[in-house]
A and B are shown apart, each in its own frame.
Chain A
């Protein structure tokens, strides 16, 4: 075991602490509205579907929970010509 690894070893607990803090702050805040991402997806899709036809299989939702902010990314593939319709 090298000296580098020896010190790297000691650094993992702070990483664990930080990961848990971020995770638990999100989980505690979400109590009671567990399916927020699902609800958001449904409502956003319903709004878009009013205007253009979309394939539900071509919708991709990604989430990244961060300490300062989180990002919700919804990729919707739109059929050819959708945006040019008059």
Chain B
């Protein structure tokens, strides 16, 4: 039974695309058949983060409008063959997508893949609405920062009102993925703590991804971090989040940066994320 996951946040720049690529890759590395779909029509970037930017021929809009077959638009990852990408159009705008067209493509993807990861655009407009519309569950990406938490709260409200599942009175799971988390700064009271965010948003926690230079490095190279540097704390956080999506019970531990100054002072060992 395939699962459609929307990766969303409301606010931009919190890590939706990075998380979509990393969770998608981690699920594929766990042997699942995965497609990551870029819904950010007009401002596509998932292709770049996944290192497939030179290979885009057709895109989501071409398929919605019937100019290309789905199979022609899917780009298979060169590193893991169970991972595919459906890119967004760079030249159209979000009005080129229709609910009927997106629904048809999601149905077609359900036949081919175990996981369909929908990378939502920022905002609450049409693109974001269509990305969540046919989802079975949501991963809400939040930074421990006031504006991100507020926007996540808004998006959670929309997930409960505007998805097909919610409208039909079915269960709609929402998971929180806290990204760019800095345990040391949270401990010093400079940053919202995990529990602060959980108390405010009141949805279950899927994982905590540490703020990390490894993430920038991976996107520079166009390789999801779970593939590029699987032992890094951020990659481990994504890998474990993916395993939780697959139903495993793994305790969530606050990440500690192995290279951090304070950790070295305290003599802590490798990160646990």
Cross-chain contact A37 with B258 (CB below 8 angstroms): no
Cross-chain contact B58 with A61 (CB below 8 angstroms): yes
Cross-chain contact B220 with A38 (CB below 8 angstroms): no
Chain B residues, CB < 8 A from A63: 54-57
Cross-chain contact A64 with B55 (CB below 8 angstroms): yes
| Cα of A27 to Cα of B57 in the assembled complex, Å | 12
| Contact residues of B between 206 and 242, Cβ < 8 Å to A | 213, 216-217, 219-222, 229
Interface size class of A (residues with CB under 8 A): 20 to 34
Say which one of B27-35, B66-74, B112-120, B137-145 lies at the interface with A. B66-74
**Smallest Cβ-Cβ distance to B258: which chain A residue:** A1
User: Using an 8 Å CB-CB cutoff, how does the interface string of A54-81 with B read, 1 for contact, 0 for none?
Assistant: 0011011111111000000000000000
Chain B residues, CB < 8 A from A19: 48, 51, 53, 222
| Cα of A34 to Cα of B62 in the assembled complex, Å | 11
How many of B's residues come within 8 Å of A, CB to CB?
A: 28
| Cα of A13 to Cα of B56 in the assembled complex, Å | 23
| Cα of A61 to Cα of B67 in the assembled complex, Å | 13
Chain A residues, CB < 8 A from B221: 12, 15-16
Give the Cβ gap from A67 to chain B, nearest Cβ, in Å: 10
Chain B residues, CB < 8 A from A64: 54-55
Cross-chain contact B222 with A38 (CB below 8 angstroms): no
Known: A1-B258, A9-B213, A60-B72. A23 touches B53 (CB 8 A): yes
**Smallest Cβ-Cβ distance to A36: which chain B residue:** B57
B91 within 8 A of A: yes
A22 within 8 A of B: yes
Cross-chain contact A57 with B91 (CB below 8 angstroms): no
Cross-chain contact B91 with A34 (CB below 8 angstroms): yes
Give the Cβ gap from A40 to chain B, nearest Cβ, in Å: 10
Cross-chain contact B68 with A62 (CB below 8 angstroms): no
| Contact residues of A between 27 and 53, Cβ < 8 Å to B | 27, 30-31, 34-35, 37-38
Listed in ascending order, the chain B residues whose CB lies under 8 Å from chain A are 48, 51, 53-58, 62, 67-69, 71-72, 89-92, 213, 216-217, 219-222, 229, 258-259
